[in-house]
Amino acid sequence: MKNITTASVIIAASIAILPTASAEEPLNPSIRYDEFVEKTTRLAPVREHHRVSEDEFLRMAAEPGTVVLDARSRDRYERIHITGAVHLALTDFTAEALEALIPDKSTRILIYCNNNFENEPVNFASKLPAVSLNIQTYINLHAYGYTNVHELGPKFDIRTTKIPFTGTDVSEDGRPLMASAGSP
């Protein structure tokens, strides 16, 4: 009983210090954290079933009608990206931009991010695991109505993966040129 009372006091105190809207600072109806949390929670088990291996990714990418989407920054995309990938930076996701790039919301979309590749510290710089681009991209695509989204699951050494790359930092034979951590 004492633990329940202590927990109740902690919960009540936590609620009391939560920020509330005031006359000077109204809530913004264009920012809905509660909906983000609900969508993220609902998508967690779906996402686990849509993570694919290297071989599955390559097979799916070769099938007609599949879109490989790179949501990294434009400059990183131009330097190196999976061959055949299209680009739309996550920061540029809007209903209109996605509709222009992928008009059919049932299109199979394959995504990947920096955290799928190692040994390329500039163009595929690792992000904190909890905020990797795959997670954000997956949630955003679903929020915009795209439900046939698959994510490259494992992490690969960029020097040995079977996945082909293209871009300004890729040699003529398709192998990534290794950027140094100090290069732009």
Note whether 78 and 36 are within 8 A (CB): no
SS (H, E, C) 58-99: HHHHHCCCCEEEECCCHHHHHHCEECCCEECCHHHCCHHHHH
Q: Is residue 41 a part of any domain in this protein?
A: no
Mean pLDDT of the chain: 86
Give, to the nearest 10 degrees, the angle between helix 133-143 and helix 33-48: 110
Amino acid of residue 173? D
The DSSP result for 131-178, as a single string, is G-HHHHHHHHHHHTT---EEEE-S-EETTT-S--EESTTB-TTSPBP-
Q: Is residue 179 part of a domain?
A: yes
The pLDDT value recorded for residue 7 is 40
Predicted confidence band of residue 37 (pLDDT cuts 50, 70, 90) = very high
| Full residue range of the structural domain in which residue 113 is found | 48-184
Number of structural domains (the chain) is 1
Most confident of 6-10, 131-135, 136-140: 136-140
State the pLDDT confidence band at 27, using cuts at 50, 70 and 90: confident
Say if 108 falls within a structural domain: yes
- Do the domain assignments include residue 19? no
Q: Is the pLDDT reported for residue 63 higher than 70?
A: yes
Residue 43 falls inside a structural domain: no
Tell me the mean pLDDT in the region 102-126: 95
Q: What's the confidence (pLDDT) of residue 172?
A: 83
Q: Is residue 16 part of a domain?
A: no
Is the pLDDT at 159 greater than 50? The verdict is yes
Express as a percent the part of the chain with pLDDT over 70: 82
Query: Which residue type occupies 108?
Result: R
Confidence class for position 10, pLDDT limits 50, 70, 90: very low
- What is the arithmetic mean of pLDDT over 97-123? 96
Domain CATH code at residue 89: 3.40.250.10
Q: What is the mean pLDDT of residues 40-63?
A: 96
Smallest CA-to-CA distance from 90 within 71, 114, 67 is with 71
Place of tokens 């599949």: 66
Q: Average pLDDT for residues 106-117, to the nearest whole number?
A: 96
